[in-house]
Chain A
Amino acid sequence: MKNKMTAFPYLIWMAMFIIIPLVLVVYFTFASEDGGFTLDNIVKISQYTPIFIKSINLAIIATLICFVLAYPIAYILSRSTEHYQRTMILLIMLPMWMNFLLRTYGWMTLLENEGLINKFLSIFHIGPFQMINTAGAVVLGMVYNYLPFMILPLYSVMTKIDYSMIEAAQDLGCNPVKVILKVLMPLSLPGIITGVTMVFVPSVSTFIISRMLGGGQNMLIGDLIEQQFIGSTYNPYVGSAMSLILMVIMLIIMGIMSSFDDDEMEGIVI
């Protein structure tokens, strides 16, 4: 039991299939087609800045919406009876187990001009609204796909909160807004950080949601990277540079997020 050796196969494995691939990405970023060193690939990316900004913005909006939607749910659930909690968490998790491509495809049916929502609205002589192929539809897709990732960590943190603290705050004359800001939020901070990370990271790098719901007009970083490798504008050098920059952005955001939290991040993934 005092043996460290059992971790070595794992470490070798990860070195081979995580570290070396990332080294390759770095290599391609600074390589030109004839094998020399170049900074052209990085420089070229500056022309795609609007796409980077747009992706980050849409991901921020999606994360905010997820947070606003999920926080009350996590709170309500954490205060319900145990049976109700279990059923509801199961119901929230259930869609996650079904392939996300299929669920996103379902939204296409709902959002189209001739789709069900517009059909329903036309009964009341409203619309039709242009919903699919907009940035809004992309955000909706993100919120829809990643909402459970926000609810679950928030919920698991909130079940551990001692509610006598909230009652104490109320007794001492806090209004509800203050209770939320001064008591509930700080106590649920680890959950918030996990939730925000788990929604933001996949949102900012998705290429499927933007492709299916964005109609090819709402390109995100993910689309851009995918296109450089096996999509319509083959150029793995620029593609690697984009991936590297995306990773750096991610690391910066992770750094900011984790400085909110002093605990180690272990064991909070669900």
Chain B
Amino acid sequence: MKKWIALCAAFLLCFTCVKTGAPVVQAKEKVTLKVYNWGEYISDGSDDSLDVIKEFEKRFPDIKVSYTTYATNEELYAKLRSGSANYDVIIPSDYMISRMIEEDMLEKLDFNNIPNFEAISEEFKNPAYDPTNEYSIPYTWGTVGIIYNTTMVEEEVDSWDILWDPEYTNQILMFNNSRDAFGIAEKLLGYSQNTTDIEELNAVAEKLKEQKIVLQAYVMDEIFDKMSSGEAAIAPYYAGDFLIMQEDNPDLAFAVPKEGTNLFIDAMVIPKGCEHKEEAERFINFLLEPDIGLANIEFIGYSTPLDTVKEQLGEDVLNDGISYPSEEVIANSESFVNLPTDVNRYIDELWVDIRASGSSSVWELVFLIVVIIGLGGALIVYLRRRNR
């Protein structure tokens, strides 16, 4: 009997421990700020860089940052929409921000808490995706181009066409998200990157299906390894990331194709459901500080919308034509805008279809039928024998 009581006591103890676990933390009034960002998109302290998150926690000891990452805008959108998670600060791209504004998923910012907004360069204020500039503050911007390994590609790269070149079969990587992948094929076919024409979208999907024969893989941040190690020869990706890859592998080169490209802006926003809006705004403001902004830009290689950071950058960075492309390149590029919901859905379906295509489905069907017949036959034979 004593043992029984002891056991009960032990379990009760367990229960109370679990239950009181949370309030104990709250008693110290430490706020957890949930930041959801792209992978490889903040200076994280590796390779002697500044650890921005730690720096923030040091500055504001009552805030703890919980930092997690996603790989694509669509993944971020799904995670928010599914209702399984909520965050305090997220950094989507332009078209996704306008979609989120349209679907009432974002909080308006209180710019009184973000005085550093002043440092944002004029051309990035009131952008097309947030015309009244109430919801978002730009984090970085950049262009998409072709990264290639000069030891494996000897010709001059100037067109998206090379991503379809059979000469480089199994050495080509492609974006693993629908908007960027469609954008490339749309430019190559001479369409707008924001086309809503079903015929055009179908043609784009066909073009992307054709590409599968030469493709090694669809990737997002896995590209860093594959390009640095020489695993793949050619891949389209964001200009800033090229600079980071180049540090690991100097043979890499970058080109913006003549057909034009995508110009993107990633901006900080606060989603609905945020629990610590003021702290979130403090975090955003912190990222806009000149030295923090500089540390991030140097670490991630993207282009800055902050005048205060741009001033600190060397001439060589500003003139290399990669992070800060020439007027010509910018004039020749297009930004994504949000598409109507049914077009988004249609693109999603096409995108699944593209990635699932390529295998000879007739033979697969035959194989499956043969197996089913075989299994069924075995079952019948077995049952007959057992019943005998």
Touch A–B, Cβ below 8 Å = yes
Interface residues in chain A, defined as those with a beta carbon under 8 Å from any beta carbon in chain B: 47-48, 50-51, 53-54, 56-57, 60, 112-114, 130, 132-133, 135, 215-217, 219, 224, 227, 229-236, 256, 259-260, 262
* Interfacial residues of chain B within 99-121, with CB under 8 A of chain A in the complex: none
* Interfacial residues of chain B within 221-246, with CB under 8 A of chain A in the complex: 229-232
Report whether over half of chain B's contact residues are helix, strand or loop; otherwise say mixed.
helix
Q: Taking A216-B355, A217-B215 as contacts, is the C-beta distance between A57 and B72 under 8 angstroms?
A: no
Q: Taking A112-B231, A133-B217, A256-B379 as contacts, is the C-beta distance between A231 and B356 under 8 angstroms?
A: no
Q: Taking A231-B78, A234-B78 as contacts, is the C-beta distance between A57 and B367 under 8 angstroms?
A: yes
B187 on interface, CB distance cutoff 8 Å:
no
Q: Taking A60-B371, A259-B379 as contacts, is the C-beta distance between A50 and B361 under 8 angstroms?
A: yes
Of B230, B352, B358, the contact of A233 (CB 8 Å cutoff):
B352
Q: Establish whether residues B368 and A53, one from each chain, have CB atoms under 8 Å apart when the complex forms.
A: yes
| Chain A residues near B231 (CB-CB < 8 A) | 112-114
| Chain B residues near A217 (CB-CB < 8 A) | 212, 215, 217-218, 355, 358
Of B82, B353, B376, B382, the contact of A230 (CB 8 Å cutoff):
B82
Of B75, B345, B359, B368, the contact of A231 (CB 8 Å cutoff):
B75
Q: Establish whether residues B78 and A230, one from each chain, have CB atoms under 8 Å apart when the complex forms.
A: yes
Q: How many residues of B contact A (CB 8 A)?
A: 46
Docked complex Cα distance between A143 and B351 (Å): 29
Q: Establish whether residues A53 and B352, one from each chain, have CB atoms under 8 Å apart when the complex forms.
A: no
CB distance from A9 to the nearest CB of B (A): 13
Interface residues in chain B, defined as those with a beta carbon under 8 Å from any beta carbon in chain A: 72, 74-75, 77-79, 81-82, 84, 170, 176-178, 212, 215-219, 229-232, 345, 348-349, 351-353, 355-359, 361, 364-365, 367-368, 371, 375-376, 379, 382-383, 386
CB distance from B312 to the nearest CB of A (A): 37
| Chain A residues near B216 (CB-CB < 8 A) | 113, 130, 133, 215
| Chain B residues near A130 (CB-CB < 8 A) | 170, 216
CB distance from B76 to the nearest CB of A (A): 10
CB distance from B195 to the nearest CB of A (A): 19
| Chain A residues near B230 (CB-CB < 8 A) | 114
CB distance from A186 to the nearest CB of B (A): 9
Sampled A-B contacts (15; CB under 8 Å): A50-B356, A53-B364, A57-B364, A113-B216, A216-B176, A216-B218, A219-B356, A230-B78, A232-B74, A232-B78, A232-B348, A233-B78, A235-B345, A256-B379, A259-B379
Q: Establish whether residues A48 and B356, one from each chain, have CB atoms under 8 Å apart when the complex forms.
A: yes
Docked complex Cα distance between A233 and B379 (Å): 40
Q: Establish whether residues B79 and A230, one from each chain, have CB atoms under 8 Å apart when the complex forms.
A: yes
Docked complex Cα distance between A215 and B219 (Å): 7
Q: Establish whether residues A233 and B348, one from each chain, have CB atoms under 8 Å apart when the complex forms.
A: yes
| Chain B residues near A112 (CB-CB < 8 A) | 229, 231
Docked complex Cα distance between A256 and B176 (Å): 38
Q: Establish whether residues B383 and A259, one from each chain, have CB atoms under 8 Å apart when the complex forms.
A: yes
CB distance from B122 to the nearest CB of A (A): 34
Docked complex Cα distance between A48 and B232 (Å): 30
Docked complex Cα distance between A231 and B82 (Å): 10
Docked complex Cα distance between A57 and B370 (Å): 11
